Structure 1
Amino acid sequence: MTRPPLAVIAGTGFYDLEALEDRVEESIDTRWGPARVTRGSWHGLPVVFLTRHGPGHSVPPHLVNYRANIRALADLGCEDVLAVNVTGSIDPGLVPGDLLCLDDFLDLTRQRPLTFFDGSGPEGVVHVDVTTPYHPALRRELLEAAVAAGHPLRDGGVYAAFEGPRFETAAEIRLARLAGGDVAGMTGVPEVVLAREAGLRYAAVALVVNPCTGVGDSEEPITMEDIEAVLATSREAVLAVLDELVHTRATFTEEGTG
């Protein structure tokens, strides 16, 4: 039996998924607008890859069409979503290159469309439970893949989502830390909520690329050049974890159908 395609969503520094074979780029029309995806196979399994910011990082985080993206993945038959979030560290114990398997979030955004259930559809107003926004079984797959791949992945972390595209102030980071935030980013919300509303299993790896403003001793401004330098040395660890997860699934599928 053919498995449903696995969705992979990524952002800054992850504009292509080189491991994909037999790739086809498509624009998927949804009620919320079009979403561009790349379909292909990875270790023989069907995969749909979506880069949030578009080609060449042309879409800022506050203008990403999160509803179209998630709706397109659901319409393509995806059931599981693996997300990659490039983040700053709120926790001073985290350093560039560290990986976290997220388990909760803070929504500090202000003006984004946050839900499919805005009252305009036939389902009316719906209140979705987010006790476990990141799916436990999918998180476990990521953690086991990280062990097998030899890349440390911290079990648990709270993602503080800010509006962007500017970086956060030191006061905002202090607020997020008081609320329990471990890392800060600009794209994880509402993506995780929309996946929950669409009935998709969703898990996310956060890659730390810089200390947030006011964290640690450095008073140097945050620059994209510094972030890209960390990405150049750390993105392969993220891809290795994902590769191990997909390979394990492919092996399980072969054994189950053999």
Structure 2
Amino acid sequence: MDRIGVIGGTGLISIDIKGQHQDFLLSKNMSVVRIDDINAETEFGIVPLRCITIDYEGTPKELIFLQRHHNQGDANKPPHMINHKANIKALEASGCEIIVSVCSTGTMVKDFPPGKVALADQYIDFTGVSTSYNDTFAVFTSVTEPFSLELNSKLEVSLRESQNFSPSEKMYYTYWLAHGPHFETRAEVDAIERLGGEMVGMTMAREVKLANELNIPYSAICISSNWAAGREPGDPSAELSHEQVSSQANERLDPVIHSILSLLD
């Protein structure tokens, strides 16, 4: 891939490949040669993007980074107010061949404990909020397999290697889209699991819907940042803190960044 769109959020506040991942870059014969911050104008609004140009054995490659919570220079727009249409349209207009989203999720299953990094292969959206570019004319997009199977397969190889996982380690989970910005109740988490959800977040499913409408392959790297409400071992009444969730997620960025960079090979 020559140009990859990368969406960050609570699980990836910003992207500092040159500073934090220099050794990995060198091991892959890659180097950052240029970083440009631009504002992409779309019919749905202006979107700030960071364009990172990487030299890979003499060939220029690009990462186009988008912070989904962008808010006038900060990264604090609440999840229910995110302009997903503008965000995905900006990545399309930038010529991104694929989109890789990085998501912080709450987990309700024991084989996806906090700290593990895996992938989404399905989502469930019962929010009742429609997200589509097709608001005027009826266009029905198939999302039987909402995430790119080819892209997921490539990311899986790197994520397994970087986390020293065995071939039997489960790597795919179903993402449940919650309304936000409130965390869930214990009862809601119990219901989510009964209905097939394994991890819960507040944003990603809306992005993948739009990417499918634009025929852009999309994958979601999901960081298990916390036990969902009522699932904290030994303390089912434990309060959830956004600051703690973000901190835990951002401590697990090595496998995330390494897997994204591996797509440039």
TM range, smaller chain: 0.7 to 0.9
Partners of 2:170 and 2:88 in 1: how far apart? 26
Partners of 2:67 and 2:6 in 1: how far apart? 8
Deviation at 1:151, TM superposition (A): 4.9
SS, match of residue 224 in structure 2: strand
Work out which of the residue numbers 9, 33, 38 in structure 1 matches 2:50. 38
Check if 1:138 corresponds to 2:151.
yes
Check if 1:242 corresponds to 2:242.
no
Check if 1:149 corresponds to 2:162.
yes
TM-score, normalized by length of structure 1?
0.86
Alignment of 1:1-258 (within 5 A): 4-19=2-17, 21=32, 22-42=34-54, 43=56, 44-54=60-70, 55-111=73-129, 113-119=130-136, 124-152=137-165, 154-215=170-231, 216-218=233-235, 219-243=237-261, 245-246=262-263, 249-250=264-265
Give the total of aligned pairs.
240
Deviation at 1:74, TM superposition (A): 0.9
Q: Which residue of 2 aligns with 1:256?
A: none
Aligned AA (1:233): E
Does the 8 Å contact 2:117/2:159 carry over to 1? no
Deviates more, 1:4-13 or 1:158-167: 4-13
Partners of 1:187 and 1:97 in 2: how far apart? 20
Unaligned ranges ≥5, structure 1: 251-258
Partners of 2:112 and 2:171 in 1: how far apart? 13
SS, match of residue 103 in structure 1: strand
Q: What percentage of aligned pairs have identical amino acids?
A: 26
Deviation at 1:4, TM superposition (A): 4.7
Does the 8 Å contact 2:4/2:62 carry over to 1? yes
Unaligned ranges ≥5, structure 2: 19-31
Give RMSD over aligned pairs.
1.9
Does the 8 Å contact 1:32/1:68 carry over to 2? yes
Deviates more, 1:31-40 or 1:14-23: 14-23
Aligned AA (1:28): A
Deviation at 1:62, TM superposition (A): 0.8
Does the 8 Å contact 2:104/2:246 carry over to 1? no
Q: In structure 2, do the counterparts of structure 1 residues 133 and 23 end up closer, same or farther at CA, with 3 Å as the change threshold?
A: same
Aligned AA (2:211): A
Aligned AA (1:190): R
Does the 8 Å contact 1:92/1:211 carry over to 2? no
Partners of 1:67 and 1:46 in 2: how far apart? 22
